[in-house]
Structure 1
Amino acid sequence: MSLTPEACRAGRALLGWSMRDLAERAGISLGAVNRLEGGETASREGTAAKITAALAVAGVDIVAGDDRTGAVLVYARRRA
């Protein structure tokens, strides 16, 4: 799954996080978040993985497909 700029912004919006909040929680620079959300691809995969993990810890799942992208706030996870 690929983290798109739109999904990143949607995830932050669901949580009410600024770019700085996300950068701190993901352990990356504010510039890295800004670049990813601006559509740049330099070292994006490592950055994307850290952002996706930080959002997941806060209860946000990234949605990605050929025809859609976004984020979903998960209130409770089902136990298997």
Structure 2
Amino acid sequence: MARAALGLGVRDLAKSAGVAINTVTRFERGEELLPRTLAAIRAALEAAGVEFINGTGVKLRS
């Protein structure tokens, strides 16, 4: 949801997070990832303007 809200493609997010494209796809399918991988994806989304709320949702920073 966050990636789409930013208008980022899978390749864009993968590059920003420093992970493989397949890793982003696995993440979006809900597969389990290493904590450091999740942290890298989260950091990339936050750097792009996403704010995580209460662990259940996201919004774009204004």
User: Normalization by structure 1: what TM-score?
Assistant: 0.69
In structure 1, runs of 5+ residues without a counterpart are: 1-9, 76-80
Aligned residues: 62
Which residue is 1:7 aligned to?
none
In structure 2, runs of 5+ residues without a counterpart are: none
Greater RCO structure (CA 8 Å; 6+ sep): 1
For the pair 1:15 / 2:6, whether they are aligned, the reply is yes
Q: Distance in 2 between matches of 1:73 and 1:42?
A: 24
Q: Distance in 1 between matches of 2:23 and 2:54?
A: 21
4+ runs deviating over 6 angstroms? none
Give identity over the alignment, percent. 45
